[in-house]
Chain A
Amino acid sequence: MTSSVDTVTPTQTVQAFLDAFAAHDVDAAMAVVDPRVSVTVHPLGVHEQGAGALRTVLADLLRGFPDLMITVSRVITTGDVVTALLTAEGTQAAGYAGAINTEKHLDIEQAWRFTAGGGLITDVAVYWCQAQLYRRLAVKRYDEISIA
């Protein structure tokens, strides 16, 4: 007998994650994440193991930008690896990544590279440019991020 998770493709798993993230439903997004997921978010210097790390990344984004809009432009499937190209847009409403809230709007193009199997995401590596993010939030120096 085949269980339902065996018939879920990596693309479907990642799409479920992205849909939930876009809907600001962190719990639903984390429902398709392996508890031992490997999490790398290069611009934030995050290299951790465990779903808690990914939950924090999502929650921080949504707290910093409560009107966050995720627009996925492409989803590329290469075996069990699914890469999503997306744009994150939002208006800052709280401190984020050290930057104080100046109520600026940002739009950042990003790439999220997932590995998925058995209905769960087991690895995620996220790429965006923190220089673009700080530029849009009016941060002047990397060594004085909180002084806008």
Chain B
Amino acid sequence: MTGTSSAKTTRTAEAAAGVVTEFFDRYRVHDVDGMTDLFSINAGFSYIPVEMWGKQRVLRGEGTVGTVGKPLWFGLIASFPDLSNTVHTVLSNDDGDVVVQADIEGTQQGAWGLITPAGKHYSEPHLFIFHVGPDLLIDRITGYWNDAGISQQLGHHEVD
């Protein structure tokens, strides 16, 4: 036998769903490094509601998991030390698409954007769209939710 052997993976709907389920398990225990280990090196990141309007530019939650996603997850956990998730549905197909309905919740202990901490709790429904590549690494995550719901639950009534 010559060469090196490597474990072969087969992407099925079940395998893709398993990777994404593991992502939420690691998110729940705040293992951000472990979460990012599930993504390919330049995995795309898009949190649609994230946008901060300045006088001359708009910062959006768009980029890669490494440059935007990971800092955002660290920041969320720092501001909401009890941050958690409840996964309601995980549906997938053999093309590697995974659609997840989950609630994200936490109690604010630190500043989050322009929201000052008042010790309030939020829980908000989210829809996540993942794509898992043939190597069983996630190569894209997109998130949808209502940020107005979170702001109001945290006692912040300005539309920033």
Contact = CB atoms under 8 A, between A and B. Distances in A.
Interface of A: 42-43, 76-79, 81, 83, 85, 109-111, 113, 125, 127-132, 134-135, 139-143
B145 A42 contact: yes
Contacts, number: 87
A13 B158 CA distance: 40
Interface stretch (B24-32, B37-45, B71-79, B147-155): B147-155
Interface residues of B, number: 29
Contact of B101 (A125, A128, A135): A125
Nearest to A111: B144
Contact of B144 (A110, A131, A134, A135): A110
A60 to B, nearest CB: 17
Interface of B: 13, 48-49, 51, 53, 91-93, 97-99, 101, 125-127, 129, 142, 144-149, 151-152, 157-160
A78 B158 contact: no
B74 to A, nearest CB: 22
Given A42-B125, A128-B146, A132-B147, 6 more contacts: A43-B149, A76-B129, A113-B127, A128-B144, A131-B159, A142-B158
